Amino acid sequence: MTEWLVWLSWPLLLAGAFFFIAGTVGMLRFPDVYTRLHAVTKADTLGLGLVVAGLSVRADSVQAVAVMLLIWLLVMGSGATACQLLGRYQREHEAQQEGRDRD
């Protein structure tokens, strides 16, 4: 592998690690469930995309790049689905609590 590809991959990998850390900090620091879900899903999706881009530059074969892209697409889909389900559950739970408080 040429030297400039290694140097090109490092900023992508470091940026991906930064977004993973930012998402984790956001999940721990934000006040409610909705902002926590937003922080962790957006930051982790972008972080994984940058890590995949950095590793794709270093990959030896097209097959390895295809596998990493497929994994990234699956994580994006499952992250969005899980976020939607957790947000819906929280909204329904809050509505039930509101109903109990009125009675």
> pLDDT for 14-25, tens place per residue?
999 999 999 999
For 66, residues 6+ apart whose C-beta sits below 8 A from its C-beta are none
Per-residue confidence (pLDDT) for residue 2, from 0 to 100: 78
1 pLDDT band (50/70/90 cuts)? low
99 pLDDT band (50/70/90 cuts)? confident
Dump pLDDT digits (tens) for 64-97.
999 999 999 999 999 889 889 988 999 898 888 8
Residue 29 to residues 38, 66, 90: CA-CA distances in angstroms? 12, 35, 18
Contact 20, 44 (CB under 8 A): yes
For 39, residues 6+ apart whose C-beta sits below 8 A from its C-beta are 22, 23, 26, 27, 30
pLDDT at 3 over 90: no
